[in-house]
Amino acid sequence: MLRSRKLVVVPLTALAVAGVAVGTAVAASGHGAPKVDKIKVVQSMKVKPGFYIQDGLRFTPYRSSVKSGGTISLSATKSGMSEGPHSFSLVKKSQLPKTAKQINKCKVCGQIAQEHGADPNSEAPPTKPFIDGGDGFNKPGDSTFFDGKPQKLKVTAKKGTTLYFLCVIHPWMQGSIKVK
Ligand SMILES: [Cu+2]
């Protein structure tokens, strides 16, 4: 039931059903203990019968920081996965939707979902669970499909950069990471 209410920009049936292991997400390894910043998907739903349902599905914290070369660990609570999978996608600040209309017509969300290889006409998993321009998780367009299984992302963006992210399936799930 929740699923049918989901705000979907392009038909994301494929993303919604896929259970994909993201093998290419870069794991932190070696060289001492890299600082790991944790971002978690959580849910807290509020309902006012007759009026609205407030979907508290979100990344928390929505603002965080990481050292250049450091690691972001992505995880989710059980309820955080109640509305299907997510993506953790870097976009430009100007591409973050702010209004309901922008959320419903999130152009960049459609583009990134398409690049993940989500076939809107099938329930096949995305063909490309990890999108990377080739030099790590550091710029708009880089994206990982998140099925709830914890992931570690090495952030290669330079010190001083702020990365903005959202979930292309639930585009109100947004946040930023300061690279120190
Ligand atoms: Cu999501």
Q: What is the CATH number of the domain that holds 140?
A: 2.60.40.420
Centre of ligand 1 from the C-alpha of residue 35, in Å: 25
Q: Residue 125 belongs to what domain range?
A: 2-179
Number of domains in the chain: 1
Measured CA to CA, the distance from residue 100 to residue 107 in angstroms comes to 13
Cα 136 to ligand 1 centroid, rounded to whole Å: 22
Buried b (16+ CB within 10 A) or exposed e, 12-51: bbbbbebebebeebbebeeeeebeebebebebeeeeeeee
The environment of the single-atom ion ligand 1, i.e. residues with CB closer than 5 A, is 86, 167, 169-170, 173
CA of 29 to the centre of ligand 1 (A): 27
pLDDT tens for 139-164 read 999 999 999 999 999 999 999 999 99
List the single range of 7-16, 77-86, 102-111, 122-131 with lowest mean pLDDT.
7-16
For ligand 1, the distance from its centroid to the CA atom of residue 146, given in whole angstroms, is: 8
The pTM (predicted TM-score) of the whole model is: 0.80
* Residue 32 scores a pLDDT above 90: no
pLDDT, tens digit, for every residue of 113-145?
999 997 767 767 899 999 998 788 999 999 999
